[in-house]
Amino acid sequence: MSIVNTFIHETDFYRILFENLPQAIQINQIVFNETGEPVDYLLLDVNRTAEKYMGLKREEIVGKRIKEIYSFIEKEWFIRYGEAVKTGKFDRLEIYIEALGIWFDVQVIPLGSQNKFAILFQDITELKNKEASEKKALNDRKKIEIEKSHYMKIAEERAAWLQTIMDLMPAGVWISDYSGKVIMANQEAINMYRGSSSMTDIPKEYTSYRLFLPDTDEPVTFEPYPLKEALVGVMLDFERFDGTRGTQVASTEALRDKDGNIINYVAVAMDITSLRQAERALAESEKNALDLVEKLRQADHNKNVFINMLSHELRNPLASIIMGLELLEKAPSDGKQAYMAMDIVKRQAKLLTDLVDDLLDVTRITHNKVYLKKDTLEINNLIGKVVQDYQPQFIDKNVKLEFKSTIPVYIEADSSRLAQAIGNLLHNAVKFTNEKDLVIVSAALDTNSSEAVITVEDTGRGIDQTDQLNLFEPFMQVDKSLDRKLGGLGLGLTIVKRVVELHGGRVEVFSEGVGKGSKFTIRLPI
């Protein structure tokens, strides 16, 4: 074979190889301006793969500058290509073409003469997307772990906080599992059962069989009656650790999971042993019987009211917190159950906090330990913020909430306390309205009395005339059976009244009766 034929043969071989490489190849010549800055490049040749990526045929490309073909070329590319040509050093870079939504791996190969260089490039979009997805997944997992750790810490802190609150209660409170074993108890419960014993805790094996029907040896078992059902203010005899007996007034409630299965019991009891002994002594002394029996009856009534209310308000958040903690223990860290459990613990702990805050607020206000931080404020702006905060509650219940603002009304007031009072009225309104009812909040200036007037009016369930007289007294329940379903300690309106009075104002209520809506009016001096 002649040298010419050999050259032609080898040329054809390399051409075939060039055309069929899976990598896209461009043979280019860099273009410099008069200052030696690379500003463009001329396309000398491309293979079939390059044609595919570029969406153009060779005859449409070869002999043209890249800027004539594409408008998205970035200056940085020319700088890198020009540097490779000048130094003769191989370069590699990743390029993202936003117009195409494609990532390319680009290899720059100087060809040694006439400012020529080759570009080998391939689509790595799938790889980059995979890397991005993996990075995001890793970050998401880290975030979930951090959040889980955070909320587990919150749950532990809330559990400790709950124990502290229980220890401060004037009644014995404990939580037991389905079998009756005690899993949590406050100090009052321990003191009640201790007797002469030196024990500092209620043993886990201590179960309900140590309860007896009054004045009998008949044990109250856990299975049939009465702990399977709720007890409200029931008098029972109990056995202490040292074997002695006492008497208690107890309320219990079964805590159930979402399927209705009993998972725990909460019990609230007060030791009335001394009162019971006094009652027996009264039976022997006819002279003082009537007086002392009446006192006992009233004391029992007051205790039963307190115990009944306390047991009702504790059972749901306690059940939810316990369920949430159990879910957190069992649920995968990155699963939906973990998020749900975190949310349950957070919301129910907030509910318990709100109950205690209401009690503390009433106590502080009653004992004149609340000091207002007054400032000049525009009342429509304040009401608007409160309405915005409470809007989700109305949306959840499908009750329409409207705010009718008027001309600016300026008063001297404590913004946080006044917002609390307005919020309590809105909370009360959403509790006692039905689906599709309407609540209207408005503010106005009464020029005749020089007062700012805030009105919360609803089309809800209304208030009986007799109940309106004592509506603002502590622990007042308009409809006890209904209000127990809705929750609360009956302190919201008491707080409203006291806060408004601290501002030198007054609060009024009007309702034509049950089923005819209610209207609450706050009047404040300007």
The boundaries of the domain holding residue 47 are 3-123
Provide the pLDDT for residue 223.
Answer: 54
Does residue 365 lie in a domain region? no
Cβ contact 4:12 at 8 Å: no
CATH (domain of 263): 3.30.450.20
Structure tokens at 291: 């007086």
**What angle is formed at CA 230 by the lines to CA 227 and CA 235, rounded to 5 degrees?**
75
Cα gap 49→310, rounded to integer Å: 78
- DSSP annotation of 473: S
Cα gap 171→251, rounded to integer Å: 11
Can you list the pairs that 412-415 forms with residues at least 24 positions away whose Cβ atoms lie under 8 Å?
412/374, 412/375, 412/376, 413/372, 413/374, 413/375, 413/377, 413/379, 413/503, 413/524, 414/372, 414/373, 414/374, 414/375, 414/503, 415/375, 415/377, 415/382
Cβ neighbours, 10 Å, residue 484: 14
Query: 163-179: string of b/e by CB count within 10 Å (b at 16+)?
Result: eebbeebebbbbbbbee
Cβ neighbours, 10 Å, residue 380: 21
Cβ contact 155:325 at 8 Å: yes
Q: Could you tell me if 202 and 317 lie in one domain?
A: yes
Provide the pLDDT for residue 443.
Answer: 93
pTM: 0.39
Q: Is the pLDDT of residue 360 over 90?
A: no
pLDDT band with cut points at 50, 70 and 90 for residue 348: low
Cα gap 151→272, rounded to integer Å: 40
Cα gap 491→484, rounded to integer Å: 13
Q: Could you tell me if 72 and 166 lie in one domain?
A: no
Q: Could you tell me if 323 and 470 lie in one domain?
A: no
**Unique residue bearing structure tokens 């300690």:** 489
Does residue 367 lie in a domain region? no
Does residue 183 lie in a domain region? yes
Q: Could you tell me if 323 and 443 lie in one domain?
A: no
Structure tokens at 97: 């073409």
Q: Could you tell me if 28 and 155 lie in one domain?
A: no
Q: Could you tell me if 220 and 104 lie in one domain?
A: no
**What angle is formed at CA 77 by the lines to CA 76 and CA 81, rounded to 5 degrees?**
120
Cβ neighbours, 10 Å, residue 309: 20
Provide the pLDDT for residue 299.
Answer: 44
HSE toward the beta carbon, residue 505, CA cutoff 13 A: 26
- Taking the C-alpha atoms of 491, 494, 495 and 499 in order, what is their torsion angle to the nearest 10 degrees? 180
Domain boundary residue, one of 326, 355, 384: 355
Work out the average pLDDT over 504-525: 92
Structure tokens at 159: 């559990």
Does residue 369 lie in a domain region? no
pLDDT band with cut points at 50, 70 and 90 for residue 1: very low
- Residue range 363-420, pLDDT digits in tens: 666 666 667 888 999 999 999 998 998 898 899 899 999 999 888 999 999 888 898 8
Q: Could you tell me if 94 and 176 lie in one domain?
A: no
Does residue 82 lie in a domain region? yes
- Residue range 24-38, pLDDT digits in tens: 898 989 999 988 899
Cβ contact 58:71 at 8 Å: no
Cβ contact 214:273 at 8 Å: no
CATH (domain of 445): 3.30.565.10
Q: Is the pLDDT of residue 138 over 80?
A: yes
Provide the pLDDT for residue 219.
Answer: 78
Q: Could you tell me if 117 and 204 lie in one domain?
A: no
Q: Could you tell me if 302 and 429 lie in one domain?
A: no
Of the candidate ranges 278-287, 312-321, 451-460, the one whose mean pLDDT is the lowest: 312-321
Domain count, the chain: 3
Does residue 219 lie in a domain region? yes
Q: Could you tell me if 246 and 163 lie in one domain?
A: yes
Task: Kindly report the backbone phi and psi dihedral angles of residue 232, in degrees, each rounded to the nearest multiple of 5, phi listed first.
Answer: -130, 110
Does residue 112 lie in a domain region? yes
Q: Could you tell me if 389 and 333 lie in one domain?
A: no
DSSP per-residue codes, 166-206: HHHSSSEEEEEETT--EEEE-HHHHHHHHTT----S--TT-
Q: Could you tell me if 390 and 491 lie in one domain?
A: yes
Does residue 202 lie in a domain region? yes
